[in-house]
């Protein structure tokens, strides 16, 4: 993995650009220029190229000959695909995770649930919400599945922030409360029913 003299890795650059893309700070089809990113992070072009490859692999950027790397477009077909894949995969991960979550992990989930309820803006809420849901699935024991779900949630968040940025209001989430109650009771079916209802609303 390429690392700059200042210790900024390709992963670090990719993560920073991912946040900007998901939040809409980098608009769909915006050109990602190696020289600009390299200057910002004080790195050579090598870790920037690796970071761009990671974004392309996640579907957050596209690379075209003679055009370069651009932020991936937002379109209805992609949004529908993300919805269907999340609805198929997240219940599987949750089903295998609920019986295996430790008390410490459940405590961290409760902290994230409270952070969602207390969030003052949509960006704080989105970050806490995504961490909460990934945390409920973290003990499934299937790293490939978790990686895919995490990537799908990034795409789901990107679409959500575009559609609901102006309409979002802080509020407690009763589905999160019900999901936590089911997790504490190790009620797998109850957790699945709540999560599927919540997914239906969220996506």
Q: What is the pLDDT of residues 87-107, one digit of tens each?
A: 999 999 999 999 999 999 999
Q: Are 142 and 96 in contact (CB under 8 A)?
A: yes
Position 199 confidence tier, pLDDT thresholds 50, 70, 90: confident
Whether 117 maps to a domain, the answer reads: yes
Position 134 confidence tier, pLDDT thresholds 50, 70, 90: very high
**Chosen domain end from 35, 53, 71:** 71
Whether 176 maps to a domain, the answer reads: yes
Whether 5 maps to a domain, the answer reads: no
The predicted model scores a pTM of 0.88
Q: Are residues 61 and 83 in the same domain?
A: no
Q: What number of CA atoms fall less than 13 Å from residue 3's CA on the CB side?
A: 4
Whether 165 maps to a domain, the answer reads: yes
Which of 152, 148, 143 is CA-nearest to residue 22?
Answer: 152
Note the pLDDT of residue 8: 84
Between 167 and 144, residue with greater pLDDT? 144
In the chain, how many domains are there?
Answer: 2
Whether 2 maps to a domain, the answer reads: no
DSSP code per residue over 33-59: -HHHHHHHHT--HHHHHHHHHHHHHHT
Position 142 confidence tier, pLDDT thresholds 50, 70, 90: very high
pLDDT, the chain, mean: 92
Quick: pLDDT tens for 153-190: 999 999 999 888 888 888 899 999 999 999 999 999 99
Whether 4 maps to a domain, the answer reads: no
Quick: pLDDT tens for 106-123: 999 999 999 999 999 999
Q: Are residues 87 and 17 in the same domain?
A: no
For the cut 50, the answer to whether the pLDDT of residue 17 exceeds it is: yes
Q: Are residues 67 and 86 in the same domain?
A: no
For the cut 80, the answer to whether the pLDDT of residue 203 exceeds it is: no
- Report the CATH number that the domain containing residue 22 is assigned in CATH: 1.10.10.10
| Tokens standing for residue 51 | 């970071």
Note the pLDDT of residue 5: 46
- In Å, the largest CA–CA distance within the chain is 56
Quick: pLDDT tens for 30-78: 999 999 999 999 999 999 999 999 999 999 999 988 889 999 999 889 8
Range of the domain at 88: 76-202
Q: Are residues 44 and 87 in the same domain?
A: no
Q: Are residues 64 and 81 in the same domain?
A: no
Q: Are residues 93 and 63 in the same domain?
A: no
Residues in the chain: 203
Q: Are residues 87 and 151 in the same domain?
A: yes
Report how far residue 40's alpha carbon sits from residue 23's, in angstroms, rounded to the nearest whole number.
19
Position 1 confidence tier, pLDDT thresholds 50, 70, 90: very low
Whether 38 maps to a domain, the answer reads: yes
């Amino acid at each position: 993995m390429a690392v700059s003299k200042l210790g900024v890795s390709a992963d670090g650059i990719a993560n920073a650009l991912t946040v900007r893309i998901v939040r809409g700070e980098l608009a769909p089809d915006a050109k990602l220029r190696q020289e600009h990113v390299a200057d910002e992070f004080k790195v050579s072009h090598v870790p920037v190229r690796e970071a761009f490859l990671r974004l392309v692999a996640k579907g957050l950027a596209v690379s075209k000959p003679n055009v370069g790397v651009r932020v991936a477009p937002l379109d209805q077909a992609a949004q529908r695909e993300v919805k269907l894949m999340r609805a198929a995969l997240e219940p599987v991960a949750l089903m295998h995770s609920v019986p295996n979550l430790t008390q410490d992990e459940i405590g961290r989930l409760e902290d994230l649930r409270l952070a969602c309820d207390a969030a003052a803006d949509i960006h704080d809420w989105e970050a806490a919400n995504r961490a909460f849901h990934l945390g409920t699935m973290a003990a499934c024991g299937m790293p490939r599945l978790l990686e895919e779900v995490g990537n799908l949630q990034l795409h789901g968040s990107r679409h959500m922030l575009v559609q609901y940025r102006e309409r979002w209001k802080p509020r407690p989430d009763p589905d999160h409360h019900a999901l936590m109650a089911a997790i504490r009771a190790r009620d797998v079916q109850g957790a699945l029913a709540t999560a599927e209802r919540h997914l239906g609303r969220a996506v």
